[in-house]
Structure 1
Amino acid sequence: MPAYGWYEWPVLADGTKQPHYIHGDGPLYFAALTAWKPGTELDAAHGFAIVTNDTEGGMVDIHARRPVALPSDVAWRWINPSYLTDDARELLNKGVPEDAFTWHPVRQEVGNSKYQLADAIEPI
């Protein structure tokens, strides 16, 4: 699943949630799973789930888990339907390291799916 970043809402000391935008230096490729098979109809029953892993280091303050982002060369292997399951599982260990990401607080409006303005990723 291609993306440029994702949002998390850590709880602040006063109990409120503050959205943060987390990103790398360029496109990210999240490992995802689906029941859809090439050549079959796309429908609501064949969505996908993004694979996550526990966080470490400073990112723990934002959330306990994060998407597994794969480098582009590894992502190409991940999406190959003929890749063996055990080999695919091993690819999850080759994700982009946590220190490749940066994050900053963003405006509260990003929690509303109707908010689609470009400033949704701008630091506040």
Structure 2
Amino acid sequence: MCGRFAMDKETDELIREFVISEGFANIGSWRPAWNLAPTDPVPIVIESVKGDDGPVRRLELAQWWLTPTWSKVLKLKAPMFNARAETAASKASFKASVASKRAVIPATGYYEWRTDADGTKTPYFIQLPGEIIGMAALYSWWADPSKANDDESRWHLTATILTSDAVDQLVGIHDRNPVPLPRDWWDHWLDPTIVGDQDLLDEAVRAALPLAETLEFHEVAPVKGDGPELIAPLD
């Protein structure tokens, strides 16, 4: 699973990294963060089609906790910050997003906790040193039913991170890891004109495997507060 991650890039860096279309970066007062948790607003990269101009790539802020369009409340009781790549296409909460609302969530790295036999939890920071991890994700627009149709504030962008079975070197920490898409897969994954299904999810996991096998990790201090010191190796 992925329950906390870091994103230490400024808006301009993300625009350059993901080649965001001019005028389509809408992440407001975003600032780098090293302790992003479920329900926090996080930067995501999506593509949408407007008119006959073809897909437009956008950088947006989304709640990290996907809310399907049919939900009556913004935050469901079930944990919706991760989606299993093996089953997402068949789940009512995710299948519409698999079909046409796929995203990339950029991360400097993510945290995972190893649970020892005595119940002790040891935090690790997992990363691709010097590179952004483009985590495969899904998104959904949720409309607040309590607000008028013409009220722009009724719309909430929400997202979830796809996970798969952990690669061998990470199994000792946790049995799941995010799906880190290679750069040459970003365009294909984001393309809203491609109708996604379970085959696409399986293909993405296979494409991500070589990159996942290069992930590195180190133990860190307890993940509390925020700041670059959180990802520093424990002395």
TM-score normalised by L of structure 2:
0.45
Partner SS, residue 94 of structure 1: helix
Distance in 2, matches of 1:92 and 1:83, equals: 17
The residue correspondences of 1:1-124 to structure 2 (distance < 5 A) are: 1-25=105-129, 26-36=131-141, 42-43=155-156, 46-86=157-197, 88-89=200-201, 90-97=203-210, 98-108=212-222, 110=223, 112=224, 115-124=225-234
What's the Cα RMSD here? 2.1
Structure 2: runs of 5+ lacking an equivalent: 1-104, 143-151
User: How far did 1:14 drift?
Assistant: 3.4
The structure with the greater share of residues assigned to helix is 1
User: Paired residues, what number?
Assistant: 116
**d(CA) in 2 for partners of 1:79, 1:116:** 30
Q: CA deviation at 1:88?
A: 3.4
The one-letter code matched in structure 1 to 2:194 is Y
CA distance in 1, matches of 2:204, 2:167: 19
TM-score, length basis structure 1: 0.82
Runs of 4+ in 1 over 4 A off after TM superposition: none
More strand by share: 2
8 Å Cα contact 1:2-1:27 kept in structure 2 = yes
Could you tell me how far apart the structure 1 residues matched to 2:117 and 2:200 are?
40
